[in-house]
């Protein structure tokens, strides 16, 4: 199911994500959201990349696309309707933490994810880096 401004009451979601959460978390918002994304991934485990992509769609986070797969990582892009993505107004640390933890869990190596907002293209690029020497026990 794809979310749109016509099928979902965005105001409630925006109140929480864009106003309440930043107010509560303050200057630590980005760090806390990253770790919250990792925690969320542990509660909703995905066993492969197609399931991560599905989760993003189901959660209303947007359309996640695998752009590139490398030996030590991945590159994803996230797009959505501009009024849902709100790329100029929010950070995407929650999503980055979620991706990092999911891949870390099914690859079994230490993983980090960094986001880059491409405002003109209305997309967010997530670069996932895996440390293949740092095994994680599952």
Share of the chain above pLDDT 70, in %: 92
Cα–Cα nearest to 136, from 36, 38, 43: 38
Residue 5 lies in a domain: no
Residue 1 lies in a domain: no
Q: What total number of domains does the chain contain?
A: 1
What was the pLDDT predicted at 8? 57
Residue 96 lies in a domain: yes
Cα–Cα nearest to 91, from 17, 23, 10, 7: 17
- Provide the domain limits for residue 44: 10-135
Please report which confidence band the pLDDT of residue 7 belongs to, taking 50, 70 and 90 as the band edges: low
Residue 72 lies in a domain: yes
Residue 35 lies in a domain: yes
Give the CATH number for residue 94: 3.30.1380.20
Please report which confidence band the pLDDT of residue 3 belongs to, taking 50, 70 and 90 as the band edges: very low
Residue 2 lies in a domain: no
Rounded alpha-carbon distances, angstroms, from residue 50 to 11, 19, 23, 74: 29, 31, 34, 13
User: Is the confidence at residue 5, as pLDDT, over 60?
Assistant: no
**DSSP of 28-88:** GHHHHHHHHHHHHHHHS--SSHHHHHHHHHHHTS-EEEEEEEETTEEEEEEE--HHHH-TT
- Alpha-carbon distance 77 to 43, whole Å? 23
DSSP 18: I
111-125: per-residue pLDDT in tens?
999 999 999 999 999
91-103: per-residue pLDDT in tens?
999 999 999 999 9
32-71: per-residue pLDDT in tens?
999 999 999 999 999 999 999 999 999 989 999 999 999 9
């Amino acid at each position: 199911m794809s979310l749109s401004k016509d099928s979902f009451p965005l105001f409630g979601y925006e109140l929480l994500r864009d106003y309440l959460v930043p107010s509560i978390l303050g200057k630590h918002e980005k760090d806390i959201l990253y770790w919250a994304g990792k925690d969320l991934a542990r509660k909703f485990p995905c066993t492969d990349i197609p399931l991560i992509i599905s989760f993003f769609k189901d959660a209303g986070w947007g359309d996640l696309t695998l752009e590139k797969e490398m030996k030590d990582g991945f590159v994803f892009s996230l797009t959505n309707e501009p009024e849902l993505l709100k790329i100029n107004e929010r950070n995407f640390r929650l999503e980055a933490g979620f991706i990092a933890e999911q891949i870390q869990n099914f690859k079994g190596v230490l993983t980090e994810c960094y986001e880059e907002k491409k405002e003109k293209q209305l997309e967010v690029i997530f670069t996932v880096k895996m440390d293949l020497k740092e095994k994680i026990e599952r």
